[in-house]
């Protein structure tokens, strides 16, 4: 005998396969495997070995059959898993010793169990498929920027709506001075995408230096096209950033490309970062020149470097000392981070004494 899933259920399965992008074979095979487990659990004492059962489900009609599998044996030691050659040949003359015979043992009451279990499997597979679709979509955006809307704050975290998922903006990823107002749209840097048992988890940042790089790529075609290269970024989020750029084409000014006509390009980045100051620095392979440039807007008189210790002695005019060091040492600190050199700044008057 056989039992049959109703036509509506089969039609629904086909629609799910189409809409969710789930493999039809995988879905039906998973249902069949679940039905084997259900049979073993509910009919273990039916005289059929719980280890030798196969369940089939017709992909078109929804008919379900349960088969006990027995090996054709010359001497019967276990009737549950073996069948004599004579009995096997009554079923089909082609059977010989060692062959496996399948005998249908579909229980009359198996239909209700099958229907309930199949629905559970389908729901689970839909959830898994949806989670995988979301994960695959966002893993491609890892280390890129995305626009999201602030939806709530909780225990120091800011939750942002990215459309198909909520992202977490942790305390360390938030810019100082930003309020994160409900429904406010923000550009965020995707730091990490995790595939957890509860689905995709997206970690975003407003403080990551990668946000600066991606914002400039959006505003400066020469960076996006690879003509102008971002060599280094040093950032104290919400306060100040230094970005070192280099042009592969001598005809194109790297700094000018980043600033844009009337400063429009850099201003768009500044506006997105709520007026964070941005110093655009010309990168140089000559350490003295690069270090001098990195201390902008201060004017440098002289730079001496020690390659072995990566230390630089910088001399500036007396009236440039405080500018070179910056408020609370911020300018020289960012310059050191940008260049990778330890920088010691002195005024001309202190050197000449």
- pLDDT for the residue 123: 82
Give the global pTM.
Answer: 0.72
In this structure, are 15 and 108 located in the same domain?
yes
The CATH code of the domain that includes 129 is 3.30.1480.10
In this structure, are 185 and 100 located in the same domain?
no
In this structure, are 163 and 118 located in the same domain?
no
Look at residue 172 and tell me whether its pLDDT is greater than 60.
Answer: yes
- pLDDT for the residue 332: 98
Look at residue 220 and tell me whether its pLDDT is greater than 70.
Answer: yes
- From 314, 267, 277, 307, select the one nearest 293 (Cα to Cα): 314
pLDDT tens-place string over residues 245-296: 999 999 999 999 999 999 999 999 999 999 999 999 999 999 999 999 999 9
Look at residue 319 and tell me whether its pLDDT is greater than 80.
Answer: yes
294 in any annotated domain: yes
- pLDDT for the residue 295: 98
In this structure, are 45 and 104 located in the same domain?
yes
In this structure, are 199 and 305 located in the same domain?
no
- pLDDT for the residue 327: 94
In this structure, are 131 and 175 located in the same domain?
no
In this structure, are 64 and 182 located in the same domain?
no
**Stretch 141-161: mean pLDDT, rounded?**
95
Question: Domain range for residue 13?
Answer: 3-137
Work out how many domains the chain is built from and give that number.
3
14 in any annotated domain: yes
Give the up-direction half-sphere exposure of residue 330: CA atoms within 13 A in the CB hemisphere.
Answer: 15
Residue-averaged pLDDT of the chain: 90
**Stretch 201-209: mean pLDDT, rounded?**
96
Q: Where a domain ends, among 137, 152, 174?
A: 137
- pLDDT for the residue 268: 97
Kindly tell me the sign of the dihedral angle through the C-alpha atoms of 262, 268, 269, 273: positive
- pLDDT > 90 in the chain, percent: 64
- pLDDT for the residue 3: 75
In this structure, are 78 and 130 located in the same domain?
yes
Beta bridge partners of 185: 149
Q: Where a domain ends, among 137, 162, 187?
A: 137
pLDDT tens-place string over residues 299-311: 999 999 999 999 9
pLDDT tens-place string over residues 14-64: 888 887 777 888 888 888 888 888 888 787 665 554 568 888 988 888 888
326 in any annotated domain: yes
In this structure, are 120 and 147 located in the same domain?
no
- pLDDT for the residue 43: 75
CA distances (Å), origin 106, targets 77, 100, 259, 322: 24, 18, 76, 88
- pLDDT for the residue 130: 81
In this structure, are 133 and 78 located in the same domain?
yes
The CATH code of the domain that includes 296 is 3.30.300.20
- pLDDT for the residue 291: 98
Identify the band that residue 1 occupies on the pLDDT scale cut at 50, 70 and 90: low
Beta bridge partners of 73: 84
Q: Where a domain ends, among 137, 163, 193?
A: 137
In this structure, are 133 and 11 located in the same domain?
yes
Instruction: Return the SS3 of 331.
Output: helix
In this structure, are 9 and 96 located in the same domain?
yes
């Amino acid at each position: 005998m056989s039992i049959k899933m109703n036509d509506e259920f089969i039609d629904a399965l086909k629609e799910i396969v189409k809409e969710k992008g789930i493999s039809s074979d995988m879905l039906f095979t998973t249902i069949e495997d679940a039905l084997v487990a259900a049979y073993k659990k509910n009919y273990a004492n039916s005289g059929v070995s719980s280890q030798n059962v196969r369940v089939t489900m017709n992909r078109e009609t929804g008919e379900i059959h349960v088969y006990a599998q027995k090996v054709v044996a010359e001497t019967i030691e276990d009737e549950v898993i073996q069948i004599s050659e004579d009995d096997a040949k009554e079923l089909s003359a082609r059977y010989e010793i060692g062959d496996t015979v399948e005998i249908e043992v579909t229980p009359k009451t198996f239909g209700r169990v099958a229907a309930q279990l199949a629905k559970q499997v389908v729901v689970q597979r839909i959830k898994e498929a949806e989670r995988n679709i979301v994960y695959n979509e966002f893993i491609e955006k890892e280390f890129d920027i995305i626009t999201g809307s602030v939806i709530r704050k909780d225990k120091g975290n800011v939750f942002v709506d990215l459309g198909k998922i909520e992202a977490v903006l942790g305390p360390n990823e938030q810019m100082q001075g930003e309020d994160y107002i409900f429904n406010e749209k923000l550009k965020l840097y995707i730091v990490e995408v995790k595939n957890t048992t509860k689905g995709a988890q997206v970690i975003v940042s407003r403080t990551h230096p990668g946000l600066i790089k991606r914002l400039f790529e959006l505003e400066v075609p020469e960076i996006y096209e690879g003509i102008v290269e971002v060599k280094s970024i040093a950032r104290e989020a919400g306060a100040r950033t230094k970005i070192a750029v280099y042009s592969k084409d001598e005809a194109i000014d790297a700094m000018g490309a980043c600033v844009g006509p009337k400063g429009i390009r850099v201003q768009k980045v500044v506006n997105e970062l709520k007026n964070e100051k941005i110093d655009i620095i010309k990168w140089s392979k000559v350490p003295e020149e690069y270090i001098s440039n990195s201390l902008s807007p201060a004017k440098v008189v002289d730079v001496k470097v020690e390659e072995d210790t990566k230390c630089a002695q910088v001399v500036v005019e007396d009236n440039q000392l405080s500018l070179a060091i910056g408020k609370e040492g911020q300018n020289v600190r960012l310059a050191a981070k940008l260049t990778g050199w330890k920088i010691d700044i002195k005024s001309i008057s202190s050197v000449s004494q």
